[in-house]
Each structure stands twice: as structure tokens, then as C-alpha cells.
Chain A
Amino acid sequence: MKRKWLVMMLVLTMTTLLFGCGSKSSSSSKGESSVLDAGAGENATELSYWTFVELHGQHFEKMLEKWNAANPDRQIKLNVTVMPYDDMHNKLSIAVQTGVGAPDIADIELGKFPDFLKGTPQLVPLNDVIDPYRDTIVKSRIDLYSKDGQNYGIPTHVGASVAFYNTEILKEAGVDYKSIVTWEDFKQAGIKVHEKTGKYMGTADTSATWQVSQLLAQQGTDLTDDNGNPIVNSEAMVKALKLLKDLQDNDVIATIAGGQPDTEEAYGEFNSGNYATAFMPLWQMSRYTNYMADLSGKIAIAPIPVMEKGMPRSVGGGGTGTVVTKTAKDVQLAKDFLAFAKLSLDANKEIWNTLGFDPVNMDVWDMKDVTHNPENKFVKYFINNPFDVLNEIKNEIKLIKSTPASPTINNVLCTVTLNEIFEDGKDIKKALDDAQAQIEQELK
């Protein structure tokens, strides 16, 4: 009998071991790697680059060819690895933390960036390579990736928020999107749309803060105060959410599967024409061309409605800072290439051509031959040219600060608070007070 007991204990221990291993291996994914030669010779230095957006790799491929042709003595082979969003950031943070296995160059998303700036950042300051271009690019986009005057990341786009209207639905209801200026106009239009078509004018986002940021920027405030402390239960915030809640109560906006327009489920909902409007940063354009083919020729871009005429109509949303790690093989080469690939005039034109982003060099916004190129797939897809709208709101693009508290604020708002307000109908002030308390507790 005793032996049986021992055997069982052994089996038990081994199975628990198996359980542990099994769950770990199934969650990890290796990602896809590919080495870009781009005409590099034998003496080229091989640099590795991690990203979570496949398209970014395509942009680098184009810029790499130009770099290798222009710098025959400093040629580069780029080893690009594409991984899913969470995976890439988690792996990068572990690699940077342990000092082993980090790539030379990496993309870090704005929402994760503050985590990499904690304490002494393990990234290389890029001030010297940014300096030659500093006058040509939007300053606030660099500031997002900075700490104590050191710039650690190179921005990709401005991410100006705009409204995307489905004109087919609006026409059916007899609404002209050009006449929508204030939120009151939007509400009246939405009531009409819902009565005539049964469809919703827009979304009540539960898993993203795009709308909240837009409404805060209009009122000239932020999610954090000047010292970077969270103020999510401010009056401006209550006002913003009351406005959205009122729209929801009038069937103008409704929650959407996936929780916000930039998710797989929501692409499907938009594509089948169940929602007429998305208020998103300009990069949502590439989601339309890639995932919502049925809407081609139906979407118009316009400034976002405001609470009162004269308020700023846009805010920069999202963003990716490309960094060089301290463990990079050839730090200077990586820095020079990065500046060339993302800050030069050529690079900024390509960022629009390949990625459909609003480049950080605003001079490009005025180059009609680039922005109005009839062959461009984004120009073809949309009814009006995005740069006509961008130039109209050019001086109104505000910024929501990125602070050490930001990842926590986003996490609490997007998992708990917005769901409580839009799904459960919890009192707005109470929900925001709870959120503030939870965030303060987590930041302790």
C-alpha cells in the first residue's frame, strides 16, 4: 500500500509540472522574422528591429534601400521581427530589464512608453540625431517620448483625431455631415438617423479613451494635472461623460462589439453599416482600407464636433516611438539610420504613402503632389482628401500628456469605469470617484 501512495505522489508532482509547462508554452508566440537585405553588401552590419505593426516593417524596407544606396560604407541589413502587441512589449521589457536579448531598434507604443522610462531608462537618448530635424517636426510628438530633456523615441505620426462619416447612411436619413459643427448638431442628426434608418450615429467606447481625450482637449484639460497626477474625476471629465451618456440615452450612440472602433469585431460592425461615425485618430484610415473594403467611396473625413464653437477640434491620439536600446550592437549607426528612416523629408513622405499616417513633418501636409496623388490608395478610398481637413484643423491639434500614471489611468478607465457607465448605467460622478481612488491606490 505504501508503494502505491508514493507512485501517486510522483504522478501528482509530474502532472503539476506538466500543467505548469503546458500553459506557458501555449501562450508564447515566436512572431515572424525576416531579414531585409535591401541591396546591402557583404560588409553590412546586421541590426535587429522589433515591431507590433507589420506595415512599419514595409516602411523600413523602403527607407533601407535608400539608406544603403546613399551610405555604401555604412550599409545595414535589417532583421525585422513582427510580434503581437502585448507579446512584443512584454518581451521587450524583460529583455531590456535583464540586458540580454533586446533588439537594436524597437517600436514602443505610447501607452506602454512610460513603463520604459521608469527610473533610469535603458534606452539611448536620441537628441543629437533629432536636432538637425527639430525645426521641421511637431515638437509635442517628440515630448511624448522624453524624460528630463532627453528624447528617447522617434515619433511616427501626429495622429490628429477626426470624424469618419458614412455618407451613405447619412444620405438615407437626409443628414449632411458638413452641417455638423457642435455636439448638439451631432445629437439632432443622430436622432434623425436612428428614427429613419434604425442605425446608430456613433459608438460609445468602453475599451478606449479616444472620445474622452477628444472631449477633454476641447475643454483645454487633461487626464493628469501639471505635476502628472491623475485627475479623472475632474469637472471637465464629468461634463464629457455626461455628454456621451446623453447621446447614448437618445440612441445616437451605442456600445459596440469589441468596445471601440479599432477592434476586429467593430470593423465588421462598421463594414456592415450598423454605425455611421467613428471619432478616431487619422491612422484609422488604414483600418478602413484594410478591413472595411465595402465602405470604399462612402466615407468622408471631417473635423470632430465641439461643445461650443471656437473650441479646438482635434487631439493627437496614439503613437509609436521607435527607440534604440543601450545594448545595441552599433548605437551610432542605429541612431543615424533611425533618424534617416523616420525624420528626413523623404521618410515623412513615405510614411504617408505606405502607412497612410499624418507625418510629423507638417511641411509635407502642404505638398499637393504628395498628399493629392490620385494613385494613392487612401486618396482613392475616401470621398474627400484627408489633408484638406488636416490643414483646416492644423493649429487646433491638442495633446493629452503621457505620464508615469498614464498606463494605470488607461487600464482602470478602459476595463472598469467606461464599462460601468455605458453598460451598467452607473452614476457618472460615482464611477469617476471610484476610478480616481483605484488609480491612486495602484500608484502608491
Chain B
Amino acid sequence: MIKRFLYSQKVAPYVFVLPFILVFLVFWVYPLGSSLSMSFQKVTLGQDAQWIGLDNYTKLMGDKTFFKAVANSAVYMVLTLLILIPFPMLFAVLINNKFMWGREFFKSSFFFPALTSVVVAGTIFRLMFGEMEGSMINSILGIFGIEPMKFLKGQVTGYIALVALATWRWTGVNMLYFLSGLKNIPDDYYEAASIDGASAWQKFTRITMPLLKPTTIYVLTISIYAGLAMFIESMMLWNGNNSPKNIGLTIVGYLYRQGIEKNNLGYAAAVGIVLLAITMIINLSQLAFSGMFKKED
């Protein structure tokens, strides 16, 4: 009986997906549900939570620091999208080119930063962008006669450091996604195009870019998510969650500040739910716009 059940062709697929479903239920659906309910509660140390209706959300709408955090995360996301999609794509195409020398060297050196821990990288970037005259960036600026800058205390300069860190760290990863996408494009197309007299630019825009579309959409989706959920980079760069004038505060950073640092878990849950809503709206509309939900033929 059991044997027949296990060997049944109808049951087998479900057995195989069961581990994923279980993990999904325990680590995603349950926490999501409980944070949703928590966002309507006031949660205090070691005591029963009280239901307070929409209070957390109405407070959130009048919270300037929260909007500062949302703006920070949004700007960071847009900047990373502008840098971390075109450039890795370009590098991937260059590295994929048979006439390029040192391909393996470039591939591994671009990817190398992704292997370092964000904690180490963030700390080193903090020292590089330090405000002392002797810090690396300031001593380079000094060669050109520019006065030392307080990078991590200003909004724009702080973001230069933050985006530099993200670019350094993620270019290689996105490049690898594009490289694997490029490997799936048959050489025949390019040969045919060459015979027809297409220029390199035409080949790139008419063959490479359209055929890379699924990869691009994938990279775009995870980059939107990663940009909005960024936290550790900022925390390490500013040596803690409290950057001057909150210039480096992200949505997740604000969630952490309220929930963990201030023990206000109910309010933090509301922040988390808003973050989820924002991410879902952006990503779903992006996927719909790029035709991912269209019926396949």
C-alpha cells in the first residue's frame, strides 16, 4: 500500500516539492502572517501584546524619519540600477568576446569582491572614505590640491561612498548572470548577421540585447529587491545604524532601529509591511510591464 503510494506518478512530484513548500510555509508564510498581526499591536518586553488597531500605521504616516529612510532606499535602488545593469552587461559582452585578452583574469577579478564579507568591505570603505587628511581618498584628492572632505557626513558624498561600495561588490555578480545569458545565444546568429553586413553596434542592439532580456529582467528584479532591502552596507559604512542626520538610514535600518534597538516590535512590523508593499508593487508592475505574466504560446 505504502509502496504503491510512493511509486504513484501522481504523488511523486509533490514529494519532491514538499521540502520547498515546508520551508516556504515555516520561514515565509508564518513570519509574514505574524508580522502582519504584530503591526496592529503594541508589543512590550515580556508582556502580552495589546491590539491597537491602525495606530502604528497612522504614526508611520507622520514620521519624518521614516520618509527619510524610504527616500534613501529609493535613491540607492535607482542609483544601483543605473550602474549595476548597463556596466556589468557591457563588461560581460567584452569578456565574452573571443578576441579579448586576459578573459579569465578579468572574470575572476571582477567577481572577487563578492567573496569578501560585507562587514570587512564596509569597514575598509569607511576607513578609505574617512575624514582625516591621511585617509586614502582624501590623500588622493590632496595630490590634486583638493581640500580633505568629510565624506560620510554629507548626503551626496556619503552616497558616493555607498554606491562605490555597492558597485565594487556587485558588478562581478551581475556580470556573471549576463555571461551565462550570453552563453545561451548561438554563434550562428552573429555569423548570419556578419554575412548580412551588420555592424558590431547593430549586432549588440538587435541580437544581444533582445536575447538577454530574460536575464536582464531577472537581474532587474533582484536588484530592485536588493536595493530596497539594503542594510548591512550602510550599517558597516557608518559603523552602526545611526548615521549623521540619518543620511545612510534605509527602510530596513529603520525597522531594525525601531524593533531591535528601541524594542518597539509592533511599529517595526508596520515598517516591514510597508516595505513589502513597496517592493511588491514595484516588482510586480515591472514584471507585468516587461511581459513576464503574459500567457506563453
Contact = CB atoms under 8 A, between A and B. Distances in A.
Given A119-B45, A419-B245, A90 B132 contact: no
Contacts of A26: 117-119, 232
Interface stretch (A93-101, A141-149, A192-200, A336-344): A93-101
Interface string B23-55: 100010000000000000000111100000000
Contacts of A420: 245
A89 B47 CA distance: 19
B147 interface: no
Given A119-B45, A119-B46, A269 B132 contact: yes
B212 interface: no
B208 interface: no
B153 A423 contact: yes
Contacts of B266: none
Given A118-B263, A415-B245, A423-B244, A16 B225 contact: yes
A318 B44 CA distance: 25
A109 interface: no
Contacts of A2: 296
Interface string A114-127: 01101110100000
Contacts of B221: 12
B222 interface: yes
B115 to A, nearest CB: 12
Nearest to A3: B296
Contacts of A90: 260-261
A90 B268 CA distance: 14
Interface stretch (B7-15, B57-65, B199-207): B57-65
| Residue in B45, B118, B150, B214 with the greatest tally of chain A CB atoms within 10 Å | B45
A391 B59 CA distance: 49
Contact of A94 (B117, B244, B260): B260
A115 B263 contact: yes
A17 B47 CA distance: 32
Contacts of B263: 93, 97, 115, 118
Interface in B109-140: 117-119, 130-132
B262 interface: yes
Given A420-B245, A423-B150, A19 B130 contact: no
A444 interface: yes
Contact of A257 (B132, B218, B292): B132
A255 B184 CA distance: 56
B226 interface: yes
B196 to A, nearest CB: 27
Interface stretch (B87-95, B99-107, B161-169, B235-243): B235-243
B229 interface: yes
A26 B241 CA distance: 15
A8 B244 contact: no
A207 B46 contact: no
A181 interface: no
B226 A441 contact: no
| Residue in B62, B132, B241, B297 with the greatest tally of chain A CB atoms within 10 Å | B132
A120 B225 contact: no
Given A207-B244, A411-B242, 15 more contacts: A11-B218, A15-B222, A26-B232, A27-B119, A86-B241, A96-B46, A97-B45, A97-B46, A97-B263, A115-B262, A206-B244, A265-B132, A415-B245, A420-B245, A438-B64
Q: Which 5 pairs show the lowest CB-CB distances between chains A and B?
A: A122-B46, A419-B244, A119-B44, A415-B242, A90-B260
23 contacts: A4-B214, A11-B218, A12-B221, A15-B222, A16-B222, A16-B225, A94-B260, A96-B45, A115-B262, A118-B263, A119-B47, A120-B47, A122-B46, A257-B131, A257-B132, A407-B262, A415-B242, A415-B244, A419-B245, A423-B244, A438-B64, A442-B63, A444-B59
